[in-house]
Structure 1
Amino acid sequence: MPKPDESPDSGTEKKGITDSVLFSLIGYRLKRVYMQIQPLAQRVLAENDLRVVSFSCLSIITDNPGIVQSELADALQMERSNLVVIIDELEERGLITRKKIPTDRRRYALTATLRGRHLRDRAAAKVRTAEDEVLGWLDEDDRDRLLTILGRLERRTAR
């Protein structure tokens, strides 16, 4: 693995192909790393009968008891209508509860069950371990800096 301050191997240099322009683009580089992590995450989540999107919903609901569907959609940057099937699935599996809000009967408060919280925690640990297959050479300071930078980018683009 290259050290953080070394030039990265593009994966194509072995074939004598260069891509210096693409590798100077942050979005492209983020996508390439994500494309390495995604199949690993999908594999470990599938072991718990979860998909990335259902795990994401469960995780946000776990950390935000009583969240409503519109808030969840905003947090995940998804259309509310696309969440209905996922919320139904999580509820049918006994991972979340959906209760009418007394002051607004059209809205439902979503809360993770104990089973849902335990599943989220186990799945998150497995995803972190899978991420380490790609990012394991980063030390804690590098990981913290990367997460800080990504957070700043997310906040900036969310405006």
Structure 2
Amino acid sequence: MRTPVSKPAVNHTATHVDDSTLREALGYHMKRSFNHVQADLTRVLKPFELRMLTYTALVLITDNPGLRQSQLAAAMDIERPNLVVIIDELERRDLILRERVPTDRRAYALQPTLAGRQLYEHALKAVRAHEAQLTQGIDEQTRATVIAVLRGIEKRLAGGEAP
């Protein structure tokens, strides 16, 4: 006969959630911080009718005219079918042009339109202000260290190395 495992006492009147175990993990802090950053960035981009993904795509296309869709998908680290929806939205809004590559009829080169470049300038200014607010009180050396640590994590994980 099996001895029943005793269950810990359940407090049905808890008023505080103890997440101290989770707060030992860097990833938990990153996720919680990102949730706030994403919510604020969503607010910043709303007047431009952009989302994080459409903004990212517009910036990459504007900064890299002639970028192929496959290159954009790799740069954004998203699946190509998901990218098509983003590209279609930007094209429908006349922010980008999708042109066939003469040497590869299966590939498309992406170009910003004048309206796309203008929206890029306005949105970029707002996002830079958002970033300044986000990092207010953080000195440049600390900011550079945080970026270096995050890049290191990204590089290790993207390369398939264990952290």
Q: TM-score range by the shorter chain?
A: 0.7 to 0.9
Q: Any unmatched runs of 5+ in structure 1?
A: 1-14
Query: Distance between the aligned counterparts of 2:93 and 2:75, measured in 1?
Result: 22
Aligned-residue identity in percent:
45
Q: How many residues align?
A: 145
Q: Which is bigger in relative contact order (C-alpha 8 A, separation at least 6)?
A: 1
Contact kept? 1:68, 1:110, Cα under 8 Å: yes
CA RMSD of aligned residues (A): 1.8
Equivalent residue, structure 1, for 2:46: 46
Equivalent residue, structure 1, for 2:105: 105
Contact kept? 1:37, 1:131, Cα under 8 Å: no
Aligned residue runs from structure 1 range 4-153, under 5 A: 17-153=17-153
Query: Distance between the aligned counterparts of 2:103 and 2:134, measured in 1?
Result: 47
Return the index of the structure with the highest Cα Rg. Answer: 2
User: Closer, same or farther in 2 for the Cα pair 1:21/1:132, shift >3 Å?
Assistant: farther
For each residue in 1:126-146, what CA deviation from the matched residue of structure 2 results, as whole angstroms up to 9, or x when unmatched? 123234444312122222221
Q: Any unmatched runs of 5+ in structure 2?
A: 1-14
User: Closer, same or farther in 2 for the Cα pair 1:72/1:78, shift >3 Å?
Assistant: same
Q: AA paired with 2:111?
A: T
TM-score relative to the length of structure 2? 0.80
Query: Distance between the aligned counterparts of 1:149 and 1:117, measured in 2?
Result: 32
Query: Distance between the aligned counterparts of 1:143 and 1:89, measured in 2?
Result: 34
For each residue in 1:52-73, what CA deviation from the matched residue of structure 2 results, as whole angstroms up to 9, or x when unmatched? 1100111111122111111111
